Amino acid sequence: MTDAAAVPPDTTPPGLLPGARSPLSDGEWHRLHPLTPLLRGGLFLLVIVGIVVANLRDRLVYLFLPWLDDEYEVEIDQLENGDPINWIVANNLYVVALLAVLGVLLLLIGVFYLSWRFHTFRITGDDVEVRSGVLFRTHRRAPLDRVQGVNLTRPMVARLLGMAKLEVVGAGLDSNVKLEYLSTLNAEQVRADILRLASGRRLDDAARADAARHGTSRVSAAASVVSAGINGLITGAEEPVDEPESVVHIPVGRLVASRLLSGSTVALLAIIAFIVWGAIAGTPWVLFSLVPAVIGFGTYWVRTITRALRYSIAPTPSGVRITFGLFTTVTEILPPGRVHAVQVTQSILWRPFGWWEITVNRLSGRGLADANADQFTTVLPVGTRTDVERVLRLLLPDLPENEWPMVFEQGLLGPAAEDIYTNTPRRAWLFRPLSWKRNGFLLAPDVLFLRRGAIWRSLAIFPMARMQSIGIHQGPVDRRLAVAGIRAHTITGRVSGSIGILDRDAALDLFEHVEAAVVTATAGDRSHRWAGEVAPVPEPVEGPAEQSEPTP
């Protein structure tokens, strides 16, 4: 431990919360970046203006540049009757029209200014609060002890302006608190302050040393450097210099190939085969649907590939830092204890290459219908076994070393010669003809493993401290065969906790043991206030390790 005499004096600037980096973390109300209205509403206004100009292109050329082309030299009296622009031209009201347009622009600027003026936020020792609205006021508050993560998003235009938006992820649906927009430097510092306060720390050795390094200078919230934003567009999301490098690097070729070798490609090939068959069978009009289908799938592939480009994952004192996105860069920090379930999957198309994908169940503040919800559940788009092990060790740091063979040799690659999982009994193989030897579970002291699938392999891992409940169900056919199904209940997500066609007595025994394990794990869980130092990243274990007897 650090000697108390060696701790630097508290150099936190006056008025700031202890250990804070940003001058915006002083418990007082602050406004967002002055360019926020431009990014939130001004771009939409520019789109509207562009549509109007495109529709009036011929008339505008005739009015302002009549010498460019004889095509636009049309007499005023030949224009369509009742046209407002025709009426303005005929009555020589150019100045009045320009003043009207200027008045509308001034009105919109005034609305944007009022919106920015009344949109404030503050960070206290317990909450992040945001107030907005002019006529109808809104006040949102995110308790720091319920923070599930803090995402930093930089759309392309915002990156060029050196700006970013923060999203504090709450513990409920549509409970996120957004700070749109801050300068990139302020956004990074504010995020660090929020995570430090959420961890339960107020002023510790690391915070004091950090304050001593950064000095007492206050950074203006309005600062934005365009050149730095352009550099960020080329080199990627900037990170603090003390951040460790990513433990996983995904080659672009592997990422593109993994998206082409996917279920969407199989669906596209099936659609093309159906269209060709329909054309041969005497309905050639179905060929017209080929181009839209290719465009739709192509758009999907491009979107998924660009979202996964520049992927990185690394440990930090505040949790796992994940960065992804080519045009819109998202950097999220997932604090400890916020992962409710982990699933490693592999399709049969990826098996020759040894590729895997990792998804999690976590609170993202978004519903499953949200188009952007999926990007916050995939923590490894595609990776080798070594990559999978490194990411799993970040997400499950408390998993004992002697339980890792249950994940790889017995779980992902199993069943092994001496299978320790409890699988579907032979008498019910007809209901799982291909995967009955893999369809099973294993209860360890602190996690529950569910192994499924032969064509699409998957292994779901449920930490006991995060599990909400466990259910057991049995239908009339199940009763006849003396089998049952179980379901581990966590928050809603892509990781399913259901597994069926298990021996009834084994399912009942699991039901009883999980209840005791959940109570024990929950009683000792302190991850909601982690307040600890980052642990070193262990190297992946090559080959089988010594196995231990699992809990019955």
Asked whether residue 543 is domain-assigned, the answer is no
Residue among 503, 490, 495, 370 at smallest CA distance from 426: 503
Q: What is the pLDDT of residue 367?
A: 55
One domain, residues 57 and 163: no
Please state, in angstroms and as integers, the Cα–Cα distance from residue 228 to each residue in 158, 191, 324, 500, following that order.
11, 19, 19, 54
Residue among 36, 83, 82, 85 at smallest CA distance from 62: 85
Q: What is the pLDDT of residue 198?
A: 79
pLDDT in tens, the chain (552 residues): 333 333 334 445 555 565 566 778 888 888 888 888 777 766 666 667 666 666 666 666 666 666 555 554 444 444 445 566 666 666 777 788 788 878 887 887 888 888 888 888 898 888 888 888 888 888 888 888 788 888 888 888 888 888 888 888 877 666 788 888 888 888 888 888 888 887 766 534 444 444 444 443 333 333 333 444 444 443 444 444 345 688 999 999 999 999 889 888 888 888 888 877 877 776 777 777 777 878 888 888 888 888 888 899 998 888 889 988 888 888 888 888 888 999 999 999 999 999 999 999 987 766 555 555 566 788 999 999 999 999 999 999 888 888 888 898 899 988 888 889 999 999 999 999 999 999 999 999 889 999 999 999 999 999 998 888 899 999 999 999 999 999 999 888 889 999 999 999 999 999 999 988 888 888 877 776 666 444 444 454 444 433 334 443
CA distance 183 to 175: 24
CA distance 224 to 112: 19
Q: What is the pLDDT of residue 533?
A: 43
The residue type found at 428 is A
User: Which DSSP string do the residues of 280-332 spell out, in sequence order?
Assistant: HTT-GGGGGGHHHHHHHHHHHHHHHHHHHTT-EEEEETTEEEEEE-SSSEEEE
Domain boundary among 70, 98, 117: 117
One domain, residues 472 and 435: yes
CA distance 129 to 133: 14
DSSP secondary-structure letter at 546? -
CA distance 317 to 319: 6
One domain, residues 393 and 418: yes
One domain, residues 162 and 90: no
CA distance 315 to 416: 32
DSSP secondary-structure letter at 432? S
Q: Exposed e or buried b for every residue in 351-378, given b needs 16+ CB within 10 A? A: eeeebbbbbbbbbbbbeeeeeeeebbbb
CA distance 119 to 132: 4
Chain-centroid distance of CA 25 in Å reads 25
Asked whether residue 296 is domain-assigned, the answer is yes
How many domains does the chain divide into? 4
Asked whether residue 329 is domain-assigned, the answer is no
Residue 309 contacts residue 329 (beta carbons within 8 Å): no
One domain, residues 112 and 125: no
**Dihedral, CA atoms, 408, 413, 415, 419, nearest 10 degrees?**
-20
One domain, residues 25 and 169: yes
Chain-centroid distance of CA 345 in Å reads 18
Tokens 């909400």 — which residue? 468
Beta carbons within 8 Å of 401's beta carbon, 6+ residues apart: 541, 545
Cβ neighbour number for residue 445 with a 10 Å cutoff: 13
**Beta strands across the sheet bearing 341-346:** 378-383, 356-361, 341-346, 457-463, 447-452, 440-443, 422-423
One domain, residues 379 and 412: yes
Asked whether residue 416 is domain-assigned, the answer is yes
Asked whether residue 539 is domain-assigned, the answer is no
Domain boundary among 117, 147, 177: 117
Asked whether residue 489 is domain-assigned, the answer is yes
What's the CATH code of the domain at 187? 2.30.29
Asked whether residue 245 is domain-assigned, the answer is no
Q: How many CA atoms lie within 13 A of 419 on its CB side?
A: 18
One domain, residues 495 and 353: yes
Asked whether residue 3 is domain-assigned, the answer is no
CA distance 318 to 307: 24
One domain, residues 82 and 172: no
One domain, residues 76 and 183: no
Predicted TM-score (pTM) of the model is 0.75
Domain boundary among 99, 117, 135: 117
What is the domain range of residue 226? 13-32+119-235
The residue type found at 299 is T
One domain, residues 381 and 479: yes
What would the 3-class secondary structure string for 125-173 be? CCEEEEEECCCCCEEEEEEHHHCCEEEEEECHHHHHCCEEEEEEECCCC
One domain, residues 206 and 289: no
